[in-house]
């Protein structure tokens, strides 16, 4: 199975950039996340989740959460802000 992040790691020949988690924001409409450790808050305006040593807060409108695999998720909607705490 093709893994986008594995391909980036191979191209960079370094894993320093992807040790904790990976996030891709696609046009402010889809947020793809690898490495989440649990959901903290879930509403149509805000979704927050834990990653290793930090918390990610996603704010926007009409947000919807889809868990794709154990530590992988997708958030859709009108994503206005992504903050790392």
Position 72 pLDDT exceeds 90: yes
**Statement: 20-84 belongs to CATH 3.40.50.360:** no
pLDDT value of residue 66: 94
Q: Within 10 A of 23 (CB to CB), how many other CB atoms are there?
A: 16
Q: Within 10 A of 41 (CB to CB), how many other CB atoms are there?
A: 12
Question: What are residue 61's DSSP bridge partners?
Answer: 78
Strands (DSSP E) contained in 3-85 are 22-26, 30-34, 38-42, 46-51, 54-69, 72-84
Position 17 pLDDT exceeds 70: no
Q: Is the pTM of this model over 0.95?
A: no
Mean pLDDT of 35-47: 96
């Amino acid at each position: 199975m093709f893994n986008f992040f594995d391909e980036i790691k191979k191209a960079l020949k370094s894993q320093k950039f992807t040790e904790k988690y990976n996030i891709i924001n696609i046009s402010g409409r889809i947020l793809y996340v690898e490495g989440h450790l649990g959901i903290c808050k879930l509403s149509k305006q805000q979704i927050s989740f834990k990653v290793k040593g930090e918390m990610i807060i996603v704010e926007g409108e009409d947000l919807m959460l889809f868990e794709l695999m154990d530590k992988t998720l997708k958030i859709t909607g009108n994503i206005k802000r992504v903050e790392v705490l």
